[in-house]
Structure 1
Amino acid sequence: MCEPQRNADDVELAKFDDLSRHWWDPEGACRPLHEINPVRLGFVEERSGGLAGLRVLDVGCGGGLLAEAMARRGARVTGIDLGEGALDVARLHLLESGLEVDYRCIAVEDLAAEQPESFDVVTCMELLEHVPDPRSVIHACARLLQPGGHLCVATLNRTPKAFALAIVGAEYLLRWLPRGTHQFSRFIRPSELDGWMRDSGLALRGLTGMHYDPLHRRYYLGPGVEVNYLAHAVRED
């Protein structure tokens, strides 16, 4: 059973529980997550100076795509989520991969109260735009980091271009994602994210855009944060 929940949207949780059976199908409804996973992993590994031996927390881990990838690079990974269905899939997949990941159904705020300053790296990918209070998530992530620890975040910018590509294009025209996956009002401007980080004792160290090459069906990092972007911050001593 899940531990007590807060800062969660039941509608959003239901959306992702409905996707649970597709998490590890690279050609199914979660195909975009499979395509961005190598980019996310590379960003986290480069920004943290390598993952081997580090204690890493993946907030909103879903079915475990990034959590397993980081464990494969030698990290000691904990994955948390409030979706029981996704966590069931994540735990089951460990039987196939043979990797070790500690999966827990717990809110990040509750884990921060339980285990402050416990992690070298915290990742929070494609989660902030799905929760009622993203500021609270950032604050909890900061509490979970050791001084000098790294936070890596991926989210969507609240711009007309992001609305056109991430919602109209990806959900309605190309049908890469189920309709209703995103709400434009919950997209987050980099300036907002930076403010929450500073309020939480974090120093923003870098922003980069995540772009899609439809010809080669691959994502890549580069200038321009108008749609998808990745942010790296460090907890100040």
Structure 2
Amino acid sequence: MSQNADQAEIAKFDEDASAWWDPAGPFAPLHAINPLRLDYIERHAGPLRGRRVLDVGCGGGILSEAMAERGAQVTGIDLAEHSLEIAGLHALETGVEVDYRAIAAESLADEAPGEWDVVTCLELLEHVPDPASIVYACAALVRPGGQVYFSTINRNARAWLFAIVGAEHLLRLLPRGTHDARSFIQPAELARWSRRGGLSIEDMTGLQYNPLTQTYALSEDISVNYLMQATRPEVR
């Protein structure tokens, strides 16, 4: 199958790959929100220790390592190979065990369907040509009774103002050109794709940034950044 990937997007992430683990670098927001993402996952999934977890679009491994440190057996996949190299090197330095693979989610779904207790796909969907295909793959990869976690950016005027004008141009939290507002995804769209993939939507939660305190927090407002938790129903 042809890869569901935008080579220009991959090139952007690989260009900054050496800075993945710099907490003040271009991926600083991911370092800042990672504790919130991790706590959100464990709040809904329960303790990750001993669980098989797949991190789709793992990049440099920020979330993958954090989940492994919580005791999960983590596999991280991505198509940005320089980013994967950095992830692997950092794991060697820290002694954290993560299995990194350069493979598309759709290909892995054909190879190993239903193999994971938890599947995470955070900050990836807005960077691929066919996000619905990734959602279907994640639904296929999780075992019955397992959980899938997505995060992305809503598509509306407020999201454009905050995520692009604010974050990229005014506050410079992200490099300019990180996002294309046309690729943002409305919660209803993500929910529809998830249900078509056989998932049951359990929760949607917003993620907000306060420029005065320079801190992030989870909230009920899903108008800009949001996370979604879904479950693959048990087979009866």
Do residues 157 (structure 1) and 129 (structure 2) align? Answer: no
- Structure 1, unpaired ranges of 5+: none
Do residues 194 (structure 1) and 191 (structure 2) align? Answer: yes
- After superposition, the CA RMSD in angstroms is 1.0
Secondary structure at the counterpart of residue 179 of structure 1: coil
Q: TM-score when scaled to structure 2?
A: 0.97
- Asked if the contact 1:5–1:82 (Cα under 8 Å) also holds between the matched residues in 2, the reply is no
What does residue 117 of structure 2 align with?
Answer: 120
- Asked if the contact 1:26–1:34 (Cα under 8 Å) also holds between the matched residues in 2, the reply is yes
Do residues 132 (structure 1) and 143 (structure 2) align? Answer: no
Please give the alpha-carbon distance, in whole angstroms, between the structure 1 residues aligned to 2:152 and 2:17: 21
Letter in 2 for 1:26: P
What does residue 64 of structure 1 align with?
Answer: 61
Aligned pairs for 1:1-237 within 5 A? 6-237=3-234
Residues 157-177 of structure 1, C-alpha deviations (whole Å, 9 max, x = no match): 001111001101111112111
Secondary structure at the counterpart of residue 210 of structure 1: strand
Residues 89/5 of structure 1: CA separation in 2 closer, same or farther (3 Å cut): farther
Letter in 2 for 1:161: R
Q: TM-score when scaled to structure 1?
A: 0.97
| CA displacement at 1:5 relative to structure 2 | 5.7
Letter in 2 for 1:227: V
Please give the alpha-carbon distance, in whole angstroms, between the structure 2 residues aligned to 1:67 and 1:219: 20
Residues 146-196 of structure 1, C-alpha deviations (whole Å, 9 max, x = no match): 001100111000011110011011111121111111011110000000100
Secondary structure at the counterpart of residue 116 of structure 1: coil
Identity %: 56
Residue correspondences, number: 234
Please give the alpha-carbon distance, in whole angstroms, between the structure 2 residues aligned to 1:211 and 1:101: 29
Please give the alpha-carbon distance, in whole angstroms, between the structure 1 residues aligned to 2:233 and 2:22: 39
Please give the alpha-carbon distance, in whole angstroms, between the structure 2 residues aligned to 1:181 and 1:214: 19
